[in-house]
């Protein structure tokens, strides 16, 4: 039986996580500078290969007669179906597209343990077929229900019991969070941080790192994966969430967010993949004739370190590098970031708070300036002196092929009054976002990735 963790105050948790964030160069296991070499060693220890194949070569997957939906013979994992969306306004008031339907809730779990009085986190060198460099640092557990119930007849998921049956008092963070609303239909994962006092055998593809070490590694391109970033957004920081140091996001912010959800009328319904207007299916892709947005492709995978050594599957492949950015400012010395109440067709509830800018610029190149995403040109033309953070990170590598975005924190150039902001935008403190992320479906996955840069110390908005 797992050892119960003694009761902890919120202040105690914040102090212990801050102490871990301050340890940036060397933890109890590896020096930070040694981690890329350790990752390369893990990569060389296994056979990894991903190759594109025609849909007809997919093993266990097929297009259903009558609908054309692409699914697995077991009826599990996920399906690729059609989605019809209507939002009523903007340059694209309605559209149709393929979308991934994966109703089961997965677990993204990060295990924490003290060594020499400092919290460390058990990270995994995990292969995902969609990662451009294949192997990235992931949470301790990153598994769908189909994975951990072994629909694929594979090996057990290591360390899963810490999250399915956590010891009393061990849970630090636990919430249901959305995945990419542009490519998933109402998909959620359980994001968890669990602390253990037990001895934990360390498997060969795992290592313990401090929060500060992870923050340093987040400054490198394509090293810490999306699933780790979304969990790290939930780290308790104790930052001032708003006016008066209120312990939760202030009522005014929640009222504004509720009004944003209320003012949008979003219609989103699944339709047969064969009936999606403006898309065509060929032997190797489902795509638009103009080559924009994304395409559905098929791959065959070899992965010696995974629960199953080989398989094939569909993936979504974006058409271009994304840009994901927060504009930042300081008011009275307190940092703020500019959030956008975004509508995405796959969200469970109309809108979630996203970054200031979240798009693939090439998809909007033909639009007139007044219809391009607000602040996109501000971010793209920012001088180096205003860029507080910049790195390229992969999105979810288990479902998306080479989906990457340039993540940015950019200081705003002026102090334009808040009432000059476009509808749907608002300045908030990182502490407010930290309070909201303890609950599900307030921050989208891109905003959580940006927030993780602040919770880990990868970037700082105060000198």
Per-residue pLDDT at 147: 62
Cα distance between residue 36 and residue 217, in whole Å = 9
More confident residue, 248 or 199: 199
For the chain, what is the mean pLDDT? Answer: 92
239 — pLDDT class (breaks 50, 70, 90): low
Cα distance between residue 49 and residue 52, in whole Å = 10
Residue 35 has pLDDT above 90, yes or no: yes
371 — pLDDT class (breaks 50, 70, 90): confident
β-bridge mates for residue 112, sequence order: 121, 195
- Which H or E run contains 351? strand 351-354
pLDDT digits (tens, 9 = 90+) for 163-209: 999 999 999 999 999 999 999 999 999 999 999 999 999 999 999 99
78 — pLDDT class (breaks 50, 70, 90): very high
pLDDT digits (tens, 9 = 90+) for 324-337: 999 999 999 999 99
b/e map 135-156, b = 16+ CB within 10 Å: bbbbbbbbbbebbbeebbeeee
Cα distance between residue 115 and residue 3, in whole Å = 16
Give how far Cα 144 sits from Cα of 107, 151, 154, 163, 305, Å. 6, 10, 13, 13, 17
Residue 7 has pLDDT above 70, yes or no: no
- pTM of this structure: 0.95
249 — pLDDT class (breaks 50, 70, 90): low
449 — pLDDT class (breaks 50, 70, 90): very high
Per-residue pLDDT at 144: 80
Lowest mean pLDDT among 186-190, 271-275, 413-417, 445-449: 413-417
| Residue with the two structure tokens 């994975």 | 147
Per-residue pLDDT at 91: 76
| Residue with the two structure tokens 């080559």 | 291
Per-residue pLDDT at 240: 54
Per-residue pLDDT at 246: 47
| Residue 115 near residue 124 (C-beta atoms within 8 A) | no
| Residue 29 near residue 209 (C-beta atoms within 8 A) | yes
Tokens of 422: 């476009």
DSSP 369: G
Contact residues for 246 (Cβ-Cβ < 8 A; gap 6+):
none
111 — pLDDT class (breaks 50, 70, 90): very high
pLDDT digits (tens, 9 = 90+) for 210-220: 999 999 999 99
308 — pLDDT class (breaks 50, 70, 90): confident
For a pLDDT cut of 90, what percent of the chain falls above it?
82
Residues in the chain: 463
Residue 238 has pLDDT above 80, yes or no: no
Per-residue pLDDT at 303: 85
β-bridge mates for residue 406, sequence order: 323, 392
Per-residue pLDDT at 245: 47
């Amino acid at each position: 039986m797992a050892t119960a963790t003694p009761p902890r105050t919120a202040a105690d948790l914040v102090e212990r996580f801050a102490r871990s964030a301050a340890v940036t160069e060397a933890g109890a296991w590896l020096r930070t500078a040694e981690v890329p070499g350790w990752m390369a060693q893990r990569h060389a220890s296994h056979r990894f290969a991903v190759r594109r194949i025609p849909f007809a070569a997919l093993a266990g997957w097929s297009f259903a007669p009558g609908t054309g939906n692409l699914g697995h013979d077991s009826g599990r994992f996920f399906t690729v179906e059609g989605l019809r969306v209507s939002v009523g306004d903007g340059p694209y008031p309605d559209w149709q597209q393929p979308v991934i339907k994966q109703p089961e809730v997965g677990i993204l779990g990060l295990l924490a343990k003290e060594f020499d009085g400092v919290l460390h986190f058990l990270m995994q060198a995990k292969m995902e077929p969609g990662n451009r460099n294949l192997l990235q640092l992931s949470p301790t557990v990153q598994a769908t229900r189909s994975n951990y119930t072994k629909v694929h007849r594979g090996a057990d998921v290591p360390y899963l019991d810490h999250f399915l049956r956590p010891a009393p008092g061990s849970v630090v963070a636990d919430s249901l969070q959305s995945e990419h609303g542009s490519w998933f239909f109402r998909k959620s994962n359980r994001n968890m941080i669990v602390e253990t006092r037990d001895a934990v055998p360390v498997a060969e593809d795992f290592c313990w790192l401090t929060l500060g070490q992870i923050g340093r590694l987040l400054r490198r391109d394509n090293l810490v994966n999306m699933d780790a970033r979304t969990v790290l957004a939930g780290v308790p920081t104790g930052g001032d969430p708003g006016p008066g140091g209120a312990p939760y996001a202030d009522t005014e912010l929640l009222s504004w967010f509720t009004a944003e959800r209320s003012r949008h009328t979003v219609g989103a319904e699944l339709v047969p993949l064969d009936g999606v207007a403006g898309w065509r299916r060929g032997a190797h892709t489902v795509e638009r004739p103009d080559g924009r947005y994304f395409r559905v492709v098929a791959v065959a995978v070899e992965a010696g370190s995974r629960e199953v050594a080989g398989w094939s599957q569909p993936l979504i492949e974006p058409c271009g590098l994304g840009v994901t950015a927060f504009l930042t400012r300081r008011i009275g010395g307190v940092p703020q970031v500019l959030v956008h109440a975004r509508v995405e067709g796959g969200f469970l509830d109309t809108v979630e708070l996203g970054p200031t800018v979240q798009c693939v610029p090439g998809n909007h190149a033909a639009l007139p300036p007044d219809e391009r995403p607000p602040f996109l040109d501000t971010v793209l033309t920012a001088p180096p002196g205003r860029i507080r953070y910049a790195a390229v990170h992969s999105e979810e590598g288990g479902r998306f092929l080479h989906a990457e975005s340039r993540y940015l924190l950019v200081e705003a150039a002026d102090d334009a009054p808040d009432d000059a902001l476009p509808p749907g935008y608002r300045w908030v403190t990182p502490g407010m976002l930290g309070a909201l992320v303890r609950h599900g479906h307030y921050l989208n996955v891109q905003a959580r990735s940006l927030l993780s840069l602040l919770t880990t110390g990868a970037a700082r908005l105060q000198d």
